[in-house]
């Protein structure tokens, strides 16, 4: 039974920082009824990242819980070191799996991750905390002229960090969260490569500024893990970063809820910028964007043909 504040009886919700993050205790994630599951969803929309200590979910319980949010997918590019399961993603520090660059999960896909459910399986004795940042706060605190500019831009994302620069997608720089209606600044240092409507040097400067702005400590929360803690975060309005300050092993397992389709605050206000005129040495700065746009045009033509249009 839920109390007046909509939080089920016996649950305790403790905020961890000003911008985002709450720890939730007094429940078992693997046996929530519908009403309790709805409460988790509401809390996630409110706090953007939730932590549930002492869950110690078995792999099948973890996957089963994740499926309640929507369709899951293993990682498109990375292999699990220890646990083979078609819907589970695993990172182990001793196998190079330390996500120590700010990112939102899988933004190089046309349909990035909606949310991620992670369980910390092995914690180092000290260090290895994870930070999250609120992309709502990052957007809200921009100046009005900067908001206005960003509202009208889009960005190219790619999977270069996974050695797959050909896996690309264009997303709005400012997106509107489908459930809350709030605007979020949707560029990250790991996967975002280019502001589409700006020239290459303008893009380098503004993208560098925006991706560092979102990491302002005021927008963040930092979590100190214990083994068996589960975290759920909303990829539509957050980024995260692992502190690579530990020795030894650290293992996480994650299930990833797929099917996000980022919607912009508005359509891009300008055409994509690809250097006009003849090819030259500097054309290389636009090559990736030009290739993406060419493929996109070809896909659109092929789609129009198959739909008889
Ligand atoms: O290891 C962590 O705390 C987070 C790793 C990560 O980036 C992810 O699972 O999406
Ligand atoms: Fe991640």
- What is the distance in A from the centroid of ligand 2 to the CA of 278? 40
Residue 308 scores a pLDDT above 80: no
Nearest bound ligand to the CA of residue 80: 1
Q: Is residue 128 part of a domain?
A: yes
pTM metric for this prediction: 0.95
Nearest atom (ligand 1) to Cα of 225: 3
> Judging by beta carbons within 10 Å of its beta carbon (0-12, 13-18, 19+), is residue 300 exposed, middle or buried?
exposed
Tell me the average pLDDT of the chain.
Answer: 95
Q: Is residue 169 part of a domain?
A: yes
- pLDDT for the residue numbered 4: 58
Catalytic residue among 47, 105, 250, 286: 105
What is the pLDDT averaged over residues 74-94? 94
State the DSSP string of the chain. -B-TTSPBTT-EEEE-SSSS-EEEES--GGG--HHHHHHHHHHHHHHSEEEE-S----HHHHHHHHHTTS-B---SS---SS---TT-EEEEGGGT----S-B-TTTTSSS-EEEEEEEEEE--SS---EEEEEHHHHHHTS-HHHHHHHHT-EEEEEEGGGTEEEEEEEEESEEE-TTT--EEE---TTTEEEETTS-HHHHHHHHHHHHHHTT-GGGEEEE---TT-EEEEETTSEEEEE-----S--EEEEEEEE-----BSS--SS------SS--GGGHHHHHHHHHHHHHHHHHHHHHHHTT-
- What is the distance in A from the centroid of ligand 1 to the CA of 240? 7
Q: Is residue 109 part of a domain?
A: yes
Q: Is residue 306 part of a domain?
A: no
The band of 3, judged by pLDDT with boundaries at 50, 70 and 90, is: low
Q: Is residue 308 part of a domain?
A: no
Which residue's CA is the nearest one to ligand 1's atom 5? 99
- What is the distance in A from the centroid of ligand 1 to the CA of 308? 44
Q: Is residue 281 part of a domain?
A: yes
CA distances 132 to 104, 142, 168, 180, 302, Å, are: 10, 19, 24, 19, 40
The band of 279, judged by pLDDT with boundaries at 50, 70 and 90, is: confident
Q: Is 265 left (phi over 0), alpha (psi -120 to 50) or beta?
A: alpha
Nearest atom (ligand 1) to Cα of 89: 9
Q: Is residue 303 part of a domain?
A: no
> CATH number for the domain including 85?
3.60.130.10
Catalytic residue among 109, 254, 260, 286: 254
**Ligand 1 shell residues, CB under 6 Å:** 91, 99, 105, 116, 118, 130, 240, 242, 252, 254
Catalytic annotation present for 103: yes
Which residue's CA is the nearest one to ligand 1's atom 3? 130
Q: Is residue 307 part of a domain?
A: no
Q: Tokens for 131?
A: 């930070």
Q: Tokens for 157?
A: 């994302």
- pLDDT for the residue numbered 2: 62
Catalytic annotation present for 56: no
To the nearest 10°, report the CA torsion of 174, 177, 183, 189. Answer: -50
- What is the distance in A from the centroid of ligand 1 to the CA of 141? 26
Give how many domains the chain has, as a whole number. 1
- What is the distance in A from the centroid of ligand 1 to the CA of 229? 13
- pLDDT for the residue numbered 5: 76
Q: Tokens for 213?
A: 């702005």
Mutation to probe ligand 1, out of 92, 94, 189, 242 (largest number of atoms < 8 A from CB): 242
* Residue pLDDT, tens place only, 138-157: 999 999 999 999 999 999 99
Domain containing residue 184: 1-297
* Residue pLDDT, tens place only, 174-218: 999 999 999 999 999 999 999 999 999 999 999 999 999 999 999
Q: Which residue has the tokens 């797929």?
A: 258
The band of 280, judged by pLDDT with boundaries at 50, 70 and 90, is: confident
* Residue pLDDT, tens place only, 249-269: 999 999 999 999 999 999 999
Mutation to probe ligand 1, out of 81, 93, 227, 254 (largest number of atoms < 8 A from CB): 254
| Dist CA 156 CA 167 (whole Å) | 10
């Amino acid at each position: 039974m839920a109390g007046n504040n909509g939080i089920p009886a016996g649950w305790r919700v403790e905020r961890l920082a000003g911008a985002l993050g709450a720890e939730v205790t007094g429940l078992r994630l693997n046996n929530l009824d519908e009403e309790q599951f709805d409460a988790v969803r509401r809390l996630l929309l409110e706090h953007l990242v939730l932590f549930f200590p002492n869950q110690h979910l078995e792999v099948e319980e973890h996957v089963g819980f994740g499926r309640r949010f929507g369709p899951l997918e293993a990682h498109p590019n990375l292999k699990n070191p220890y646990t083979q399961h078609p819907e589970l993603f695993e990172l182990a520090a001793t196998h190079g799996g330390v996500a120590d660059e700010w990112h939102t999960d899988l933004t190089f896909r046309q349909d990035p991750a909606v949310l991620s459910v992670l369980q910390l399986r092995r914690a180092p004795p000290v260090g290895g905390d994870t930070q999250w940042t609120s992309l709502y706060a990052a957007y809200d605190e921009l100046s009005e002229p900067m908001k206005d500019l960003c509202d009208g831009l889009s960005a190219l994302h790619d999977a270069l960090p996974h050695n797959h620069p050909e896996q690309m997608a264009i997303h709005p720089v400012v997106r509107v969260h489908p459930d809350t209606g709030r605007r979020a600044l949707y560029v990250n240092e790991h996967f975002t490569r280019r502001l589409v409507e700006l020239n290459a040097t303008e893009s380098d400067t503004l993208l560098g500024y925006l991706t560092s702005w979102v990491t302002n400590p005021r927008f963040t929360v930092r979590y100190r893990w214990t083994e068996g803690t589960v975290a759920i975060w909303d990829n539509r309005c957050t980024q995260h970063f692992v502190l690579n300050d530990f020795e030894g092993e650290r293992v996480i397992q994650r299930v990833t809820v797929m099917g996000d389709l980022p919607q912009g605050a508005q359509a891009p206000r300008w055409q994509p910028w690809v250097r006009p005129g003849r090819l030259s040495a500097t054309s290389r700065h636009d090559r990736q964007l030009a290739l993406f746009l060419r493929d996109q045009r070809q896909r659109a033509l092929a789609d129009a043909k198959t739909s008889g249009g």
